[in-house]
Amino acid sequence: MKTVLWQGEQIAPSKIVCVGRNYVEHIQELNNEVPEEMVLFCKPNSAICNDLIAHRGEAIHYELELCLLFDGERFCAVGVGFDLTKRAQQSRLKQQGLPWERAKAFDGSAVFSEFVSVDAIDDSLVFALEVDGQARQRGNIELMISAPGKILSEIQSFMTLQAGDIVMTGTPKGVGALVAGSRYQACLHQHHRLLCELDLTAQ
C-alpha cells in the first residue's frame, strides 16, 4: 500500500475522493458548465506518488488542491496535493460521456505534502502554487462552490470514509501542463502561519 505522511507517521489511505468543478473560475478556464450537483470521483491508493512526471503517454496537467485527511468521523488534518490529469484523454472521455478514471486515477496521479493536524477547517486556510518562482494558483475555502462540511456530508450520503482517507477539494484557476525541469512550490497557511510545503521539480 502507498503511504502519506501525517505528523511524521506513515499512513496508508484506502482511497482518495476528489471534488471536481468546485471553483467557478477554474470551470470557466476549461469551458465547462457549473454542475447542478457535486462532481465526485475517486483515485485508488495506487495513485499516490512522490514525483511529478511531466509525460505519461501524453502531457500531464497539474491541479493544486487543498487536501483533507479523515479520521474520527471528521476532517482532522490538512495538506496540499496535486491532482494530476491527462487532459487530452479527459476531454475525449467527456465528449463520449464516459468516466474519467483513465485520465484521473492512473498510477502516479496524486502527489501530497505532509498532512498536519488542525483544530478547525476554516476560511483562514489559504494555499498557493508558484512555478519557477511565478505565481500560478491560489485558493481558499471562500472561493469553493461546496465547502468542506458540505463535501463531507455529500460523500457520506453514499460512501463510507475510512480512517486515513483523503479528500481533494478541487482546484482554482491557473492549471496547466507540467514542464520537465520546472520547479513547483506549493504551500498552505492558516492564520498566516505556514502549515506545510511541497517543493518538487518535474521530471
Q: What is the DSSP letter of 35?
A: P
Dump pLDDT digits (tens) for 15-45.
999 998 898 776 576 666 767 889 999 999 9
- Whole-angstrom distance, CA of residue 131 vs CA of residue 180: 12
In angstroms, what is the C-alpha Rg of the chain?
16
* Residue carrying the nine cell digits 479528500: 167
pLDDT given for residue 124 in this prediction:
96
pLDDT given for residue 13 in this prediction:
98
Average per-residue pLDDT in the chain? 95
Q: Enter the pTM of the model.
A: 0.95
Q: What does the domain layout of the chain look like in residue ranges?
A: 4-201
Domain 4-201: give its CATH superfamily. Answer: Fumarylacetoacetase-like, C-terminal domain (3.90.850.10)
Q: CA-CA-CA-CA torsion for 196, 198, 199, 203, nearest 10 degrees?
A: 170
pLDDT given for residue 34 in this prediction:
67
Q: What average pLDDT does the segment 79-104 reach?
A: 95
* 34 or 88: which leads in pLDDT: 88
Dump pLDDT digits (tens) for 119-134.
999 999 999 999 999 9
Distances (CA, A) of 34 to 7, 42, 146, 169: 36, 20, 12, 16
